[in-house]
Amino acid sequence: MKEDTKLIAAGRPHRRPHHPVNPPVERASTYLFPTYDDFTEGAKNIVYGRLGTPTHRALEEAVNLLEGGFETRLAPSGLAAVNYALLAFCRAGDQILAADSVYDPVRKFCDGFLKRFGVETIYYDPLVGSDIEALLSPRVKVVLVESPGSLTFEIQDLPAIAAAAHRSGARVVADNTWSAGCFYKPIRLGADVSVQAGTKYLAGHADLLIGTLTSADEATARAVFQTLLQLGSNVSADDAFLTLRGLRTLKTRMARHEETGLKLAKWLGKRAEVERVLHPAFKSCPGHTIFKRDFSGSSGLFSILMKPLAAGQIKAFFNALKIFGVGYSWGGFESLCVHVRPQNNRTAEPWTEAGPVFRLSAGLEDADDLIADLDRALAAMAAAK
Ligand SMILES: Cc1ncc(COP(=O)(O)O)c(C=O)c1O
């Protein structure tokens, strides 16, 4: 069966004479056991709400299928999922290597929380490839890859990084939120843990936060699960249910996000106001050749580097948008556009471009309507000072 077919069936109730299409929401803290023996043996891991209910297991099964892993576990947000994956493999005195383009709140966790507990983070150029070797040592326990980076979209050479990391005894954690697991398979390319902010494309409706951690093998999965248990991590059954519902339409939505994203990026690339399109499917994006080798497609999130603008022009652009929402996050059915500032979060490779960067998340609206919205905003920008 093809992945599209498997995703429709994954985590659904097993055939009984009469059953609902979707697994129902099972809300529980306490589970009751009919006998003392049942209690002491536990019933298929479903023993207490914090360890998950059948609703959580159903989502985990479906995401694991999508990511091609050994086991998937859930976290209360994408940020929590990345941070838990790091916590699972480090102790005081260890080092982490993280891409300079990594999601900024993860950077704050590394430079704040982990530093207080004696873990040091070293940031590397996302285009480092096999030269990561020079930064590896027995102290490095995790390499954190985010490909593409979610502001500037550099694509990393995950197979080369993973090979070097594994030779040195480090694990590789990959943030796979951008591809939603549809266009990129980090575990197949050497990652030990593939993490997603399911908040974005998996849930797909901008109404919940959730994270997923998919481990490549049993030992990694055990370390991840023990970390979640010891930290008391929990996800509501309602959010797990909604995310699984989102997954049923994921492939269809991603095809549309991809098509609209490409259409918008092509149109913007021809505009005189735009210096460069930062979209992995475009030659102008660093790492584009690796994208062509390792990805089967693109999602709807990309940025444009604008020619230098006055503050009033930036304001006029955003205030003129009528369809694009101005707000954080991405991956929902609605299009978004935000002014991002990569210069604030780089240390290994400072961002020195003069113009502002606008990030767009292509939603499911009609692409021509979205282009008209951008056209209107660019006209307002040109008229402003
Ligand atoms: C690449 C990436 N990873 C992780 C996260 C964190 O996800 P959440 O908002 O669910 O914590 C985000 C959120 O924007 C993100 O862009």
Task: Summarize pLDDT for 76-123 with one digit per residue, the tens.
Answer: 999 999 999 999 999 999 999 999 999 999 999 999 999 999 999 999
Say if CB 139 and CB 119 are below 8 A apart: no
Q: Specify the pLDDT at position 179.
A: 98
- Supply 229's token pair: 């248990």
- Supply 50's token pair: 């914090």
From the candidates 84, 103, 123, 124, give the one annotated as an active-site residue. 103
- The answer, yes or no, to whether residue 56 has pLDDT greater than 70, is yes
Q: What is the 3-state secondary structure (H, E, C) of the chain?
A: CCHHHHHHHCCCCCCCCCCCCCCCCCCCCECCCCCHHHHHHCCCCCCEHHHCCHHHHHHHHHHHHHHCCCEEEEECCHHHHHHHHHHCCCCCCCEEEEECCCCHHHHHHHHHHHHHCCCEEEEECCCCHHHHHHHCCCCEEEEEEECCCCCCCCCCCHHHHHHHHHHCCCEEEEECCCCCCCCCCCCCCCCCEEEEECCCCCCCCCCCCCEEEEECCHHHHHHHHHHHHHHCCCCCHHHHHHHHHHHHCHHHHHHHHHHHHHHHHHHHHCCCCEEEEECCCCCCCCCHHHHHHHCCCCCCEEEEEECCCCHHHHHHHHHHCCCCECCCCCCCCCCEEEEECHHHCCCCCCCCCCCCEEEEECCCCCHHHHHHHHHHHHHHHHHCC
Say if CB 303 and CB 331 are below 8 A apart: no
Q: Active site includes 12?
A: no
Q: Specify the pLDDT at position 195.
A: 98
Residues 302-343 pLDDT 10s: 999 999 999 999 999 999 999 999 999 999 999 999 999 999
Structural domain for 242, as ranges: 3-248
Q: Active site includes 103?
A: yes
Q: Specify the pLDDT at position 43.
A: 60
Round the CA-based radius of gyration of the chain to a whole number and report it.
Answer: 22
Query: How many domains, in total, are found in the chain?
Result: 2
Domain shared by 11 and 141, yes or no: yes
Domain shared by 262 and 377, yes or no: yes
Q: Active site includes 200?
A: yes
- The answer, yes or no, to whether residue 15 has pLDDT greater than 80, is no
> Which amino acid is present at 17?
P
Quick one: average pLDDT of 365-381?
A: 98
Domain shared by 318 and 302, yes or no: yes
Domain shared by 216 and 258, yes or no: no
Write the residue with the smallest CA distance to atom 9 of ligand 1: 78
Which residues sit with their C-beta closer than 6 Å to ligand 1?
77-79, 82, 103, 146, 150, 175, 177, 197, 199, 209, 211, 329
- Cα 68 to middle of ligand 1, angstroms: 21
**248, 281, 303 — which closes off a domain?**
248
Domain shared by 84 and 149, yes or no: yes
- CATH code, 237: 3.40.640.10
Domain shared by 243 and 372, yes or no: no
Question: In terms of C-beta density within 10 A (0-12 exposed, 13-18 middle, 19 or more buried), how is residue 45 classed?
Answer: exposed
Q: Specify the pLDDT at position 19.
A: 86
The pLDDT > 90 percentage for the chain reads 94
Confidence of residue 18 (pLDDT cuts 50, 70, 90): confident
Tell me the CA distances in angstroms from 324 to 143, 262, 318, 334, one per residue in order: 35, 16, 9, 7
- CATH code, 288: 3.90.1150.10
- Cα 294 to middle of ligand 1, angstroms: 22
Domain shared by 152 and 55, yes or no: yes
Confidence of residue 17 (pLDDT cuts 50, 70, 90): confident
Mean per-residue pLDDT over the chain, rounded? 96
Distance CA 358, CA 130 (A): 31
Confidence of residue 44 (pLDDT cuts 50, 70, 90): low
- Cα 379 to middle of ligand 1, angstroms: 32
Chain-centroid distance, C-alpha 80: 12
**248, 282, 297 — which closes off a domain?**
248
Atom of ligand 1 nearest to the CA of 149: 1
- The answer, yes or no, to whether residue 41 has pLDDT greater than 90, is no
Domain shared by 212 and 353, yes or no: no
Q: Active site includes 263?
A: no
**248, 268, 287 — which closes off a domain?**
248
Say if CB 262 and CB 358 are below 8 A apart: no
Tell me the CA distances in angstroms from 381 to 297, 357, 360, 361, one per residue in order: 32, 14, 17, 20
Q: Specify the pLDDT at position 14.
A: 75
- Supply 133's token pair: 């070797």
Q: Specify the pLDDT at position 232.
A: 97
Q: Specify the pLDDT at position 16.
A: 72
Is omega for the bond preceding 148 within 30 degrees of 0, making it cis?
A: yes
Domain shared by 240 and 364, yes or no: no
- The answer, yes or no, to whether residue 349 has pLDDT greater than 80, is yes
Domain shared by 278 and 207, yes or no: no
Q: Specify the pLDDT at position 39.
A: 87
Domain shared by 375 and 243, yes or no: no
Domain shared by 238 and 308, yes or no: no
- The answer, yes or no, to whether residue 40 has pLDDT greater than 90, is no
